[in-house]
Amino acid sequence: MRPANWVSQPAKVEITEAAGGDPLDAEEQNNISVYRKNIASVVNITSRAMGLRLLLRFGPAGRTGHWIRHRQEGHIITNYHVIAEARQVEVTLSNRKKYKATIVGTDRSHDLAIVQIKAPDLQPMTLGDSTHLQVGQKVYAIGNPFGLAGTLTRGIVSSIRQVEEPDGMVIEEAIQTDAAINPGNSGGPLLNWHGEVIGINTMIASSVGQSARHRLRDPDQYRKKQC
């Protein structure tokens, strides 16, 4: 029998350094590849409207992630709610160069808009096929949430269903994902496993207006909010 407070004292203590430089696995390599392939095509859009209503409703201007569709035409796809009622639109590229933009197309019913800039060496993204998406497929979201430029989050397709926007407009076959989407992701791309654009981030279903962890006590608190 040994006393309860007995502690073994080894004659020699060996210290082993943590292993380093382990190769990335295939999934990590793909995450990095998707990010590097597309990050230069994600831009910021600053919208200035009459008064402060736009800024108060959708958060600080210039903190949203939008993406370049055409190299030569200079077309950039974003959400309609980002540029709604805007009197002046400015685009900041990944190299921090700023350009004045012109609104050339809108589709309020699907919360989509296209702005155009004149800038050299634009890097467009590749459109993927979203018609055959399956629940459970892996997806990525790139944007600028909370003022953090160029963040990547990952998740899966949780559902493909009809959703109603805060203004009452209905989007058919919207892609629902559990990838973290927060204020500042508006207009940013939703990508498939190959880094191709399959959707545009437009709203959050949350009790707190973001993808932060939060336990609901009252189901009536659950609401949708454009990001």
User: Which position among 41, 47, 66, 81 bears the catalytic label?
Assistant: 81
Q: How many CA atoms lie within 13 A of 62 on its CB side?
A: 13
Which candidate in 41, 47, 66, 186 is catalytic? 186
For the chain, the DSSP string reads ---TT-----S-----PPP--PPP-HHHHHHHHHHHHHGGGEEEEEEEESSSHHHHHH-STT--EEEE--TTT-EEEE-HHHHTTEEEEEEE-TT--EEEEEEEEEEGGGTEEEEE---SS--PPPB---TT--TT-EEEEEE-GGG-TTEEEEEEEEEEEEEE-TTS-EEEEEEEE-S---TT-TT-EEE-TTS-EEEE--EEEESSSSSS----S-GGG-EEEE-
218 given a catalytic annotation: no
Establish whether 81 is a catalytic residue.
yes
Whether 33 sits among the annotated catalytic residues: the reply is no
> Which of the residues 41, 47, 66, 111 is marked catalytic?
111
Q: Which residues are catalytic?
A: 81, 111, 186
